[in-house]
A and B are shown apart, each in its own frame.
Chain A
Amino acid sequence: QQKVQQSPESLSVPEGGMASLNCTSSDRNFQYFWWYRQHSGEGPKALMSIFSDGDKKEGRFTAHLNKASLHVSLHIRDSQPSDSALYFCAASEHDSGSWQLIFGSGTQLTVMP
């Protein structure tokens, strides 16, 4: 079983709409989460990190973490065609001395003009 699972696999939203992406860790040791975005032909770029319970907002992007359920979500309001990309959730442990990022399989977001 993958340690970091994302849903949905793909998502289409109209321009100006809200996109909601989900991520769940199956390992309670993974408590630190990142959202990365990857445009075609490029490497992933970090959007934001979230390490504490609750919401974290950066511009049009809001991440929400629930450590009890190990669920993290990313909400993109006022979606733009340039937001069309592959979105990865990544988690890490830290406490055990491991700093590697464990990636989910991604959500392909398409924002339709």
Chain B
Amino acid sequence: GPKVLQIPSHQIIDMGQMVTLNCDPVSNHLYFYWYKQILGQQMEFLVNFYNGKVMEKSKLFKDQFSVERPDGSYFTLKIQPTALEDSAVYFCASSSGLGYEQYFGPGTRLTVL
């Protein structure tokens, strides 16, 4: 079936550094999402993105977070600067339309030291 890829699978960085998480969504999907899952807790919505713009974001999507998808390349989540509480698994998802099935990637485990 359709697959979403995420690069890297693991990332370890020092607090205060910048990190970029990359997502290769399902081709021909137009809607993109980021979710955050802290170990042992539920997955939480961060942001969705369409046509080059953020459509909706949650309270977890801090000012240090940004998303973009330049020219159909990777859909990225950038955190600058990182904080200890940003340690989590970040899942990217894509869908062909709003309310349609969201296809998730395998996640990027981010550890902030």
Residues of A within 8 A of B (CB): 2, 32, 34, 36, 41-46, 49, 88, 92, 94, 98-106
For the complex, is B98 an interface residue (Cβ under 8 Å from A)? yes
* A-side contacts of B35, CB under 8 Å: 101, 103
In Å, the complex CA distance between A25 and B15 comes to 37
Pair B104/A45 contact, Cβ less than 8 Å? yes
**B residues lining the A interface (CB < 8 Å):** 4, 33, 35, 41-45, 48, 55-56, 58, 91, 93, 98-99, 101-107
Could you say which residues of chain B place their CB within 8 Å of the CB of A49? Answer: 101
Chain B residue contacts of A104, Cβ below 8 A? 42
* Other A-B pairs, 11, CB within 8 Å; known A36-B104, A106-B42: A45-B103, A46-B103, A88-B42, A99-B48, A99-B56, A100-B33, A100-B45, A100-B56, A101-B35, A103-B44, A104-B42
**A-side contacts of B99, CB under 8 Å:** 32, 92, 94, 99
Q: Which of A42, A100, A103 contacts B42 (CB 8 A)?
A: A103
B30 CB to closest chain A CB (Å) equals: 13
A34 to B95: give the CA distance in the assembly, Å: 14
Q: How far is the CA of A92 from the CA of B31 in the complex (A)?
A: 16
> Which A-chain residue is minimally distant from B98 (CB atoms)?
A99
A71 to B61 CA separation, bound complex (whole angstroms): 29
**A55 CB, nearest partner CB in chain B, Å:** 20
**B43 in complex: contacting residue of A41, A88, A98, CB < 8 Å:** A88
